[in-house]
Amino acid sequence: MSKPIEDRLLGHFYSELRRRRVLATLSIQVIAAWLIIQVTDALFPGWNIAEENIRFLLYATIACFPIAFVFGWKYDITPRGIKVTLPASRMGDDGGLPPARSGHVLLSFLSLATISIFVGFGRGSPTFDCRESASKTIRCVL
């Protein structure tokens, strides 16, 4: 008895994820995001940076997850530079081609999207610490 078509498609998709090393790319992104969050959680209070900025940083790393997925699916980082990952039927000796003009546009878009996410999440409403203002004889209305 043959497998249902959904099982075969899911198996093919998973094998493509492994071949394109998307899972490795996403695991690196998750580990880097975790490390960034841990470091900022330890350092931000000591630098008197508002605690809500850690939450913004968490949102930014979550928003970058789809960008890492697209980058991992489309490109391979090799010792010879960034290469376009070819479909399995067109794999050559070198494993990929240099990005074409459309590839450069996509790389630029992914980079700008990542930068705008981090810049945009950092522009929250400013926080006002009542304890700090009490020492400056400014009233804080609760």
Question: Total structural domains in the chain?
Answer: 1
- Mean pLDDT computed over every residue of the chain: 75
SS3 102: helix
What residues make up the domain containing 61? 5-134
Q: 142: Cβ–Cβ under 8 A, 6 or more apart, which residues? A: 130
- Other CB atoms within 10 A of residue 117 CB: 17
pTM for the full model?
0.61
Which of 22-31, 37-46, 70-79, 116-125 shows the lowest per-residue confidence on average (mean pLDDT)? 116-125
Is residue 62 one of the residues assigned to a domain? yes
Is residue 12 one of the residues assigned to a domain? yes
| pLDDT value for 75 | 84
